[in-house]
Amino acid sequence: MSEVRIAAEPRTEFGKGPARRVRRAGKVPAVLYGHGTDPRHIALPGHDLMLALKTPNVLLRVDGLTGSDNLALPKSVQRDPIKGFLEHVDLLVVKKGEKVTVEISVTLTGEIASGGVLNQELITVEVETEATRIPEGVEYDIEGLGVGAHVTAADLQLPRGTELVSDPETILLTIAPERSEEEVEALETAEADVAAEAAEEAAEGAGQEAEQASGEGESAQTASE
């Protein structure tokens, strides 16, 4: 489990204005909460935080604050929808031995048998695990799987001490038969027909709206005369 130390500064001003000033200084507004303690409003160095958050479920050791409850997990990360920079982070205080619920990635290894097409339905699963021993992910070997095979979340071999929270019946992956050239062409033709029909309906709708607007304009002119 990756643990990163990060320096924090207490925040005493709140609201949009103070938050903008924090960001202009290259820092990110954050809140540290949990274990019945009052929420602590802090500012974290933006560059260091951005690097730390590249690791899923990174454990942060928050320095510069009073008290010992400064080990935390990111629970909510807000980013600017256009530029992508960090706007705000919620951090949940955790303790060694405590169980937490998180999402971990699912990585497939190996190659399926020829003649099949792999459809991966899940790329993450929700698990319960010890806060300071969160696995980076779980692997599943698909070597030799043939057409018709399907795998559920229950088939994943999770590390010791980690339990599945996601529905065990959820489909993880399926192996479908490859389509023939005729089937591919038929599908492409059908999709093209649907797109053409939608475009035609949109054009007709626009024409009707134009005619209606023109008619309303003529009626208004007649009434004024």
For the stretch 99-110, pLDDT in tens is 999 999 999 999
Q: Write down the mean pLDDT value for the chain.
A: 86
Q: What's the confidence (pLDDT) of residue 170?
A: 96
Q: Residue 171 is encoded by which pair of tokens?
A: 């489909």
| φ/ψ (deg, to 5) at 181 | -60, -40
When pLDDT is averaged across residues 56-80 and rounded to a whole number, the result is 85
Instruction: State which amino acid sits at residue 170.
Output: T
Backbone angles phi, psi at 123, to 5 degrees: -110, -10
Q: For the chain, where are the alpha helices, taking DSSP H only?
A: 16-24, 46-52, 181-224
Please state whether beta strands 9-10 and 37-45 pair in parallel, antiparallel, or not at all (unpaired). Answer: antiparallel
Q: What is the pLDDT of residue 193?
A: 82
Q: What is the pLDDT of residue 200?
A: 82
Task: Give the pLDDT confidence score for residue 29 in this predicted structure.
Answer: 94
Asked if CATH classification 2.40.240.10 holds for the domain at 3-95, the reply, yes or no, is: yes
User: Could you check whether 3-95 and 100-177 share the same CATH topology?
Assistant: no
Q: Which of 45, 40, 49, 46 is nearest to 12 (CA)?
A: 40
Report which residue type is found at 137: G
- Degrees, nearest 5: CA angle 80-83-87: 30
Closest by CA to 149, choosing from 181, 96, 182, 110, is 110
Residue 11 pLDDT more than 60? yes
Note the pLDDT of residue 211: 67
Quick check: 204 pLDDT over 90?
no
In this predicted structure, what is the pLDDT of residue 207?
A: 67
Show me where the domains of the chain are located: 3-95, 100-177, 181-225
Distance CA 208, CA 88 (A): 47
User: Above 90 in pLDDT, residue 216?
Assistant: no
Confidence label for 222 from pLDDT (cuts 50, 70 and 90): low
Burial of 86 (0-12, 13-18, 19+ CB in 10 A): buried
> In the CATH hierarchy, which fold is given to the domain comprising 100-177?
RNA Polymerase Alpha Subunit; Chain A, domain 2 (2.170.120)
User: What's the pLDDT band for 195 if we cut at 50, 70, 90?
Assistant: confident
Residue with tokens 């999709």: 191
**The whole model's pTM is what?**
0.68
The confidence band for 31, taking pLDDT boundaries of 50, 70 and 90, is very high
- Say whether 86 sits in a helix, a strand or coil: strand
What does the pLDDT read at residue 87?
A: 92
Residue 137's pLDDT is what? 93
The average pLDDT across 201-220 equals 67
DSSP conformation class of 153: G
Is 197 or 179 the better-scoring residue by pLDDT? Answer: 197
Query: Is the per-residue pLDDT at 220 higher than 60?
Result: no
Q: Tell me the average pLDDT across 160-174.
A: 96
